[in-house]
A and B are shown apart, each in its own frame.
Chain A
Amino acid sequence: MSLNTPTDKVCLWTLDHDQPASLATYTANGGYEALRKILAEKTPAEQIIEQVKISALRGRGGAGFPTGLKWSFMPRSFPGDKYIVCNTDEGEPGTFKDRDILIYNPHQLIEGMLIAGYTLGARAGYNYIHGEIFEQYQSWERALQEAREAGFLGKDILGSGWDFDLHAHHGYGAYICGEETALLESLEGKKGQPRFKPPFPASFGLYGKPTTINNTETLTSIPWIMRHGGQAFLELGKPNNGGSKIFSISGHVNKPGNYEIPLGTPFSALLEMAGGVRNGHKLKAVIPGGSSAPVLPADVMMDCTLDFDSIAKAGSMLGSGAVIVMDETVCMVKALERLSYFYFEESCGQCTPCREGTGWMYRIVNRIEHGKGRPEDLDELVRIGNNIGGRTICALGDAAVGPVVSFVKHFRQEFEYHIENKRCMVGG
């Protein structure tokens, strides 16, 4: 495959090449052509933003915010420095797509960031890379060096007179830095504590300058859109849900991995691609959009198509497209205990409800799991969750509540059994 033809493999088309990550592979297959054309024709920023709007590209990091709209918030004529930041702090349990982009198609991300930088008038761009994938931090820096040597980065890019550079910034173990303002704080060399918004990054971002932050997959989709037009991208998916999307499927399937498929594909089709539920077990539940998304029981999930609207209608969210599959052997109390621990552990501690509430919820779930549950615990969990949700500076509070409330809602019997019998209903 190549970038010259509009296939539904928007980001991962290099996979069928011998050296998918190389600059040679990328440029031999249409890479950097979109950038070349924009710089040669001095395409006005409005036109680029218009195409991104038409594409109905929605942020691939989890929130699903329309990218074109986000770009239009940027005060492009602001005289001082502006920045484009890529969010590769991929730490939402179940999500592992951006890492594959860095491994298999780093140059398309570079080109996407270049186009974004050009469009938004940025002086430089930073890619914030998840702490635990140091090898990809290094490999992306090598890709940057290749691009720099080839004249795609630095001074007077491709003879256009435009200067722009990109850098990698390495995280070191904090899930919260996936939140865009925490990421900015971290990029400034501070603790990754989210900022209260407003002001939004488009007016007060990195170093207090206008900044746009997009997810890796979002930015990697840009060269495709500019090559083939927003309309073609939109048509890959469905209205309001343009394009393909990488779904990271993990858990109890035979072939966990990344599958880049058009938005709107039925969940059942993805499950089949992933080889179905392992060992012939029965599907029990699915977390459709990363650990923060509410869990859905098997029957609800099997009726869903994979797009923002369908999943939202079913009571969860598409999020980052991280599909965690659980079969009938899973104890939902134990599963929730681990997730609750995660949010407790990863709360930045800045604001009261999350700092205090995540620990409280974890301790209750932990008690239930260890046979010390009390009958009132389940209502208490929901009550605590309601006191956290919507009352924190960032979305981590809501993210911590989502699993708790949905697990209790859909699998209450299992929790009650645990409390009453001090042991697990599943397996034993």
Chain B
Amino acid sequence: MQTPEFQLSAEALAQIDQEVAKYPAEQKQSAVMSALRIAQAEKGWLSKDAIAYVADYLGMPAIAAYEVATFYNMYDLEPVGRNKITLCTNLPCQLQGADKVAEHLQARLGIGFGETTPDGRYTLKEGECMGACGHGPLCLHNNHKMHAHLTPDAVDKLLDDLK
């Protein structure tokens, strides 16, 4: 699939190449998850052009890359706010107060889960277990930075720090 208008930066491509190098030469597809992550980190979300570009770069069918992009839930197939907050609401976090944090986040931002504030500053998502339950409630900021021991006060401080 040709996507002449879409391009990733040289840095992003270097990162993808680093991932590709981890696998046997004929197994470039193994790097697709990382490549999609890197593309998303650079562009903010995964457009169809981004997915086609990554597929082409790795020599795999575009639909196979699309399958991957839609299977793993940290990929964003639609534009998100500058700050995506993914709150874990699974049972251990719930027991430790995630419900109150969720209510507070929604009230404070005026949006529900899966929504973005009109100013494009925040997107709120409901997440599944992040594997740090002892430190719950937890959230992820833009997929890669974890914040633990959330309380309504801690959330206020976090939101204020995010531009």
Which residues on A are within 8 Å of B, measured CB to CB?
81, 90-96, 98-99, 126, 130-135, 167, 169-175, 186-192, 207, 248-252, 256-258, 287, 291, 322, 324-326, 330, 335, 338-339, 342, 345-346, 348
| Any A CB within 8 A of the CB of B109 | no
Check B95 against A93 for contact (C-beta < 8 Å): no
Cα–Cα distance between A256 and B107 once the two chains are bound (Å)? 28
| Any A CB within 8 A of the CB of B127 | yes
Q: In the complex, how many angstroms separate the beta carbon of A72 from the nearest chain B beta carbon?
A: 26
Check B27 against A251 for contact (C-beta < 8 Å): no
Check A135 against B72 for contact (C-beta < 8 Å): no
Q: In the complex, how many angstroms separate the beta carbon of B162 from the nearest chain A beta carbon?
A: 17
Q: In this complex, what residue of B is CB-closest to A257?
A: B134
Given contacts A90-B131, A132-B140, contact A190 B68 (CB under 8 A): yes
12 contacts between A and B (CB under 8 A): A96-B132, A132-B146, A133-B130, A167-B22, A169-B30, A170-B33, A191-B68, A248-B133, A251-B91, A251-B96, A324-B91, A324-B95
Partner of B32, one of A132, A189, A342: A189
| Any A CB within 8 A of the CB of B7 | no
Given contacts A251-B95, A252-B95, contact A170 B34 (CB under 8 A): yes
Residues on B with C-beta less than 8 A from A335 are 91, 94-95
Check A173 against B73 for contact (C-beta < 8 Å): yes
Q: In the complex, how many angstroms separate the beta carbon of A379 from the nearest chain B beta carbon?
A: 24
Q: Mark interface residues in B27-66 (1 if CB within 8 Å of A CB, else 0).
A: 1111111101100000000000000000000101000100
| Any A CB within 8 A of the CB of B75 | yes
Check A330 against B95 for contact (C-beta < 8 Å): yes
Check B146 against A133 for contact (C-beta < 8 Å): yes
Given contacts A96-B134, A322-B133, contact A191 B71 (CB under 8 A): yes
Partner of A170, one of B37, B92, B133: B37
Partner of A258, one of B24, B68, B134: B134
Residues on A with C-beta less than 8 A from B71 are 174, 191-192, 348
Cα–Cα distance between A96 and B90 once the two chains are bound (Å)? 13
Given A93-B92, A335-B91, 5 additional A-B pairs, CB 8 A: A175-B129, A250-B92, A256-B134, A287-B91, A324-B92
Cα–Cα distance between A169 and B143 once the two chains are bound (Å)? 16
| Any A CB within 8 A of the CB of B77 | no
Cα–Cα distance between A150 and B155 once the two chains are bound (Å)? 42
Cα–Cα distance between A90 and B95 once the two chains are bound (Å)? 19
| Any A CB within 8 A of the CB of B157 | no
Partner of B92, one of A90, A251, A346: A251
Residues on A with C-beta less than 8 A from B64 are 189-190
| Any A CB within 8 A of the CB of B144 | yes
Query: Shortest 9 CB-CB distances between A and B: which pairs?
Result: A189-B29, A173-B74, A132-B130, A172-B72, A134-B144, A167-B22, A250-B92, A173-B73, A189-B32
Cα–Cα distance between A248 and B24 once the two chains are bound (Å)? 36
Q: In this complex, what residue of A is CB-closest to B143?
A: A134
Residues on B with C-beta less than 8 A from A207 are 24, 27
Check A189 against B146 for contact (C-beta < 8 Å): no
Partner of B144, one of A135, A248, A258, A345: A135
Cα–Cα distance between A190 and B36 once the two chains are bound (Å)? 12
| Any A CB within 8 A of the CB of B67 | yes
Partner of B36, one of A92, A169, A172, A325: A172
Residues on B with C-beta less than 8 A from A338 are 89-91, 94
Partner of B128, one of A98, A326, A346: A346
Residues on A with C-beta less than 8 A from B24 are 81, 207
Residues on A with C-beta less than 8 A from B163 are none
Residue of B33, B64, B144 contacting most chain A CB atoms (<10 Å)? B33
Check B33 against A171 for contact (C-beta < 8 Å): yes
Given contacts A131-B72, A167-B22, contact A173 B30 (CB under 8 A): no
Q: In this complex, what residue of B is CB-closest to A256?
A: B134
Cα–Cα distance between A93 and B133 once the two chains are bound (Å)? 7
Check A132 against B131 for contact (C-beta < 8 Å): yes
Check B131 against A99 for contact (C-beta < 8 Å): yes
Q: In the complex, how many angstroms separate the beta carbon of B50 from the nearest chain A beta carbon?
A: 14
Q: In the complex, how many angstroms separate the beta carbon of B55 from the nearest chain A beta carbon?
A: 10
Check A189 against B31 for contact (C-beta < 8 Å): yes
Q: In this complex, what residue of B is CB-closest to A339?
A: B91
Q: Mark interface residues in B87-101 (1 if CB within 8 Å of A CB, else 0).
A: 001111011100000
Check A174 against B73 for contact (C-beta < 8 Å): yes
Given contacts A95-B133, A134-B143, A248-B134, contact A173 B128 (CB under 8 A): yes
Q: In the complex, how many angstroms separate the beta carbon of B74 from the nearest chain A beta carbon?
A: 4
Check A175 against B128 for contact (C-beta < 8 Å): yes
Residues on A with C-beta less than 8 A from B74 are 131-132, 172-173
Q: In the complex, how many angstroms separate the beta carbon of A203 from the nearest chain B beta carbon?
A: 19
Given contacts A190-B64, A324-B91, contact A135 B135 (CB under 8 A): no
Cα–Cα distance between A346 and B90 once the two chains are bound (Å)? 12
Residues on B with C-beta less than 8 A from A345 are 128
Q: In the complex, how many angstroms separate the beta carbon of A255 from the nearest chain B beta carbon?
A: 9
Residues on A with C-beta less than 8 A from B92 are 93-94, 250-251, 324
Residues on B with C-beta less than 8 A from A187 are 30
Check A250 against B96 for contact (C-beta < 8 Å): yes
Residues on B with C-beta less than 8 A from A94 are 91-92, 129, 133
Q: In the complex, how many angstroms separate the beta carbon of A272 from the nearest chain B beta carbon?
A: 17
Cα–Cα distance between A107 and B120 once the two chains are bound (Å)? 42
Partner of A95, one of B37, B95, B131, B146: B131
